[in-house]
């Protein structure tokens, strides 16, 4: 076994990896070691099992087969595999968005009393923005019309998708020129499945361009709908402080964790843990109270809107249970390792699944829908109280003290902090106090040291006077290092530091969950429009230093297709095709005005980003 410091930079993670070993619990790192060496063909994208004449694989060294049984070469196989990866990622985030459309629809039709519209002003603003009549209409009528409008974005849309009006005109021209304007979320995802069936699209460039189009249907479609409707239904985030790391668990409380992505379930759990009757029951069972904390993106949703503490990110999910202090982990969908059921089985903990789309063998399934959610949440909390009575306090070890974080930077909140418009931000960018902005987003991956690349890339960026925007699991990486507090301004370059101190904000702004990357591209669109340029002209960049998921591939591609240079910390499985790799790292510049780069070293990644920012500033006539 490797030394613990090889696995994570976080002391809470290392303490729990050690405890997992002592308790005989297998973790993600153990299973990665068992898998190694991983398949080189698959790593390069050179294996195909799209049909039953196969499976096939291409020899990257040129001695063995150069074509699959059907005749597909390395370029076609890699492009097809990548296309399906992007389609799966878009499907996940956009299907999450669909659940919010259905919730809004149910609210509008009076089919649920469990949910409602919490931000009516935003509902009216968004409805007007997408061209709906709102004057003189009541909330339910506006909600009904907006839900119907968004339903169409998923299907056989005629005319433009709802949010494409947010895309700067020059960007829309680029998309039109290369035929990558998204047409409909489900349509573009399904079309990728069609194109990658044997014998349909057999040109790597054509496949990659469609992958770009479908990623845009997610970024400016499904994910954006998820974000905006979550704000309408649960409140638009505003700055607040909260806490992060495993220390947010409380040894004397019933501990409930929410994990997954959608706020639809986690918001109901939040309501239930605040129920005085249930708190009394918990006390009667010997607990001091009920403690709720988040993991991954649904944790980000509750953190952004409600200030609920975050226990950890992707690689902390197993380790949270290893504390022995978690009664129940309530999950919805996405990024929930099936191993959690096994880990929970080593303690008194239960995994509660809630979505008809996501069953886990061995878990307790309590199905939530629009009509029963409040009641089901109460049942889950009651289960947690019952589990508390089975907890073995002798096996409890909660490592460390929680760290303070600042959260809640929706675009609305950012504009408010700036005094009502993006003007002051643009002025600071023009003056070179803030040289540019970098979205550092994405996941963790056991192939790299947990949180090392995420947090160090952020440090390197703020040092260079680059404002950093974070979402998803990177939020926790940054937060645990103290980077989400205004005091982190001391780690920033002189310009950024001065701006942050004047505004009382951190140099790293938490903008939400992974679907909330749509907030960041919307912000890019607003800045480009204010300057009368394309997004690709802005001194901005994106990075996913520790990404693991198909969704991250989709986000990276919609960032690039929107004109944002994007650095990945790990290579996607495309290196088996020179054509696809060249397109990704250079050819796309001539198409969408941005490319990918792959760089795992945070200092080198920051230098690549800095070079892009310098070039873009120079082209805008600004000091580099």
Q: Which of Fe ion, ligand SF4, none is residue 428 near (CB under 5 to 8 Å by kind)?
A: none
If binding is defined by CB under 6 A, does position 578 make contact with ligand SF4? Answer: no
For 367, other C-beta atoms within 10 Å of its C-beta total 11
Report DSSP letters for 565-608, one per residue: EEEESS--TTTT-HHHHHIIIIITHHHHS--EEE---HHHHHHH
Distance CA 261, CA 336 (A): 9
Q: Which of 69, 88, 240, 426 binds ligand SF4 (CB under 6 A)?
A: 69
- For ligand SF4, the closer of residues 54 and 307 by Cβ is 54
Q: Which of ligand SF4, Fe ion, none is residue 574 near (CB under 5 to 8 Å by kind)?
A: none
Q: Least distance from C-beta 314 to Fe ion, angstroms? A: 8
Token pair belonging to 435? 């040289």
Q: Which stretch binds ligand SF4 (CB under 6 A): 34-42, 68-76, 233-241, 350-358?
A: 68-76
For 468, phi and psi rounded to 5 degrees? -110, 135
Contact call for residues 539 and 616 (beta carbons, < 8 A) = yes
Q: Least distance from C-beta 549 to Fe ion, angstroms? A: 7
Q: Least distance from C-beta 572 to ligand SF4, angstroms? A: 19
Residues 509/513/515/518 CA torsion (nearest 10 deg): -10
Q: Which of 8, 27, 50, 300 binds ligand SF4 (CB under 6 A)?
A: 50
Q: Least distance from C-beta 50 to ligand SF4, angstroms? A: 4
- For ligand SF4, the closer of residues 177 and 578 by Cβ is 578
If binding is defined by CB under 6 A, does position 42 make contact with ligand SF4? Answer: no
Sign of the C-alpha dihedral computed for residues 12, 15, 17 and 19 taken in this order = negative
Q: Least distance from C-beta 70 to ligand SF4, angstroms? A: 3
Q: Least distance from C-beta 304 to Fe ion, angstroms? A: 13
Q: Least distance from C-beta 91 to Fe ion, angstroms? A: 14
Nearest to 309 by CA among 319, 318, 320: 320
Q: Find where tokens 């690039």 sit.
A: 560
If binding is defined by CB under 6 A, does position 49 make contact with ligand SF4? Answer: yes
Contacts of 607 (CB under 8 A, 6+ apart): none
Type and span of the H or E element at 126: helix 120-129
Q: Which residues pair with 255 in a beta bridge?
A: 291
Distance CA 98, CA 285 (A): 39
Q: Which of Fe ion, ligand SF4, none is residue 515 near (CB under 5 to 8 Å by kind)?
A: none
Contact call for residues 65 and 56 (beta carbons, < 8 A) = yes
Distance CA 426, CA 301 (A): 28
Q: Which of Fe ion, ligand SF4, none is residue 424 near (CB under 5 to 8 Å by kind)?
A: none
Q: Least distance from C-beta 212 to Fe ion, angstroms? A: 21
Q: Which of 10, 16, 44, 56 binds ligand SF4 (CB under 6 A)?
A: 56
- For ligand SF4, the closer of residues 81 and 323 by Cβ is 81
- For Fe ion, the closer of residues 181 and 513 by Cβ is 513
CA 406 to chain centre: 18
Report DSSP letters for 158-202, one per residue: -S--GGGGGS-HHHHHHHHHTT-----HHHHHHHHHHHTSTTS--
* Strand duo 240-244 + 56-57: pairing: unpaired
If binding is defined by CB under 6 A, does position 68 make contact with ligand SF4? Answer: yes
If binding is defined by CB under 6 A, does position 225 make contact with ligand SF4? Answer: no
If binding is defined by CB under 6 A, does position 563 make contact with ligand SF4? Answer: no
Q: Which of 54, 60, 307, 486 binds ligand SF4 (CB under 6 A)?
A: 54
Q: How many residues sit in the footprint of ligand SF4 (CB under 6 A)? A: 14
Residues that bind Fe ion (CB under 5 A): 297, 472, 514
Q: Find where tokens 């004057």 sit.
A: 135
CA 281 to chain centre: 36
From residue 173 to residue 212, what is the string marking binding to ligand SF4 with x (rule CB under 6 A)?
-------------------------x--------------
- For ligand SF4, the closer of residues 51 and 205 by Cβ is 51
If binding is defined by CB under 6 A, does position 51 make contact with ligand SF4? Answer: yes
Contact call for residues 510 and 531 (beta carbons, < 8 A) = no
From residue 70 to residue 109, what is the string marking binding to ligand SF4 with x (rule CB under 6 A)?
x-x----x--------------------------------
Q: Which stretch binds ligand SF4 (CB under 6 A): 66-74, 150-158, 234-242, 245-253?
A: 66-74
Report DSSP letters for 38-80, one per residue: PPHHHHHT-EE-SSTT--EE--TTSSS-SS-TT---HHHHHHH
- For ligand SF4, the closer of residues 78 and 319 by Cβ is 78
- Site for ligand SF4, rule CB under 6 A: 48-51, 53-56, 68-70, 72, 77, 198
């Amino acid at each position: 076994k490797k030394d613990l410091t090889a696995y994570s930079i976080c002391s809470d993670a290392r303490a729990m990896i050690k405890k997992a070993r002592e308790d005989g619990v297998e973790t993600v790192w153990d299973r990665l070691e068992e898998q190694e060496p991983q398949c080189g063909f698959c790593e390069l994208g050179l294996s195909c099992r799209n049909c039953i004449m196969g499976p096939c694989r291409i020899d990257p060294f040129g001695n063995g087969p150069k074509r699959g049984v059907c005749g597909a070469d390395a370029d076609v196989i890699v492009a097809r595999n990548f296309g399906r990866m992007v389609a799966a990622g878009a499907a996940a985030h956009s299907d999450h968005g669909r659940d919010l459309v259905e919730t809004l629809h149910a609210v509008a039709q009076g089919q649920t009393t469990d949910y409602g519209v919490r931000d009516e002003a935003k509902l009216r603003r968004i409805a007007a923005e997408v061209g709906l009549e709102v004057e003189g209409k009541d909330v339910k009528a506006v909600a009904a019309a907006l839900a119907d409008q968004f339903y169409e974005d998923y299907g056989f849309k005629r005319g433009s998708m709802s949010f494409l009006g947010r895309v700067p005109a020059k960007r829309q021209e680029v998309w039109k020129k290369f035929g990558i304007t998204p047409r409909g979320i489900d349509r573009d995802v399904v079309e990728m499945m069609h194109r990658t069936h044997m014998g349909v699209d057999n040109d790597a460039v054509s496949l990659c361009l469609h992958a770009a189009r479908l990623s845009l249907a997610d970024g400016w479609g499904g994910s954006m709908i998820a974000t905006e409707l979550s704000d309408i239904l649960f409140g638009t985030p505003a700055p607040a402080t909260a806490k992060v790391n495993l220390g947010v668990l409380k040894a004397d409380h019933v501990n409930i964790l929410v994990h997954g992505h959608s706020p639809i379930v986690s918001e109901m759990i939040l309501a239930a843990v605040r129920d005085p009757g249930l708190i009394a029951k918990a006390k009667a069972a010997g607990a001091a109270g009920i403690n709720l904390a988040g993991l991954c993106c649904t944790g980000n949703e509750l953190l952004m809107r409600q200030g609920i503490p975050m226990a950890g990110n992707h690689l902390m999910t197993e380790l949270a249970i290893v504390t022995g202090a978690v009664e129940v982990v309530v999950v919805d969908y996405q990024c929930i390792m099936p191993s959690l059921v096994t880990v929970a089985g080593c303690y008194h903990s239960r995994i509660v699944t809630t979505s008809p789309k996501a069953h886990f063998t061995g878990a307790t399934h309590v199905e939530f829908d629009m009509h029963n959610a409040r009641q089901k949440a109460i049942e889950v909390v009651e289960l947690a109280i019952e589990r508390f009575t089975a907890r073995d306090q002798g096996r409890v070890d909660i490592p460390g003290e929680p760290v303070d974080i600042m959260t809640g930077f929706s675009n609305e909140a950012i504009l408010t902090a700036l005094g009502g418009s993006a003007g002051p931000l643009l002025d600071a960018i023009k003056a070179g106090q803030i040289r540019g902005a970098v979205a550092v987003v994405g996941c963790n991956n056991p192939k790299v040291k947990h949180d090392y690349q995420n947090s160090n890339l952020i440090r390197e960026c703020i040092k260079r006077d680059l404002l950093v925007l974070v979402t998803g699991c990177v939020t926790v990486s940054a937060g645990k290092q103290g980077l989400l507090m205004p005091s982190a301004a001391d780690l920033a370059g002189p310009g950024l530091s001065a701006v942050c101190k004047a505004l009382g904000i951190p140099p790293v702004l938490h903008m939400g969950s992974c679907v909330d990357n749509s907030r960041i591209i919307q912000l890019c669109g607003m800045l480009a429009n204010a300057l009368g340029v394309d997004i690709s002209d802005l001194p901005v960049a994106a990075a996913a230093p520790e990404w693991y998921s198909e969704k991250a591939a989709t986000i990276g591609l919609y960032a690039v297709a929107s004109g944002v240079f994007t650095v990945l910390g790990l290579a996607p499985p495309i290196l088996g095709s020179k054509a696809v790799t060249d397109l990704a790292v250079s050819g796309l510049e001539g198409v969408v005005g941005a490319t990918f780069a792959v760089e795992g070293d945070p200092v080198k990644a920051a230098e690549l980003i800095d070079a892009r920012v310098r070039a873009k500033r120079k082209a805008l006539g600004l000091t580099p």
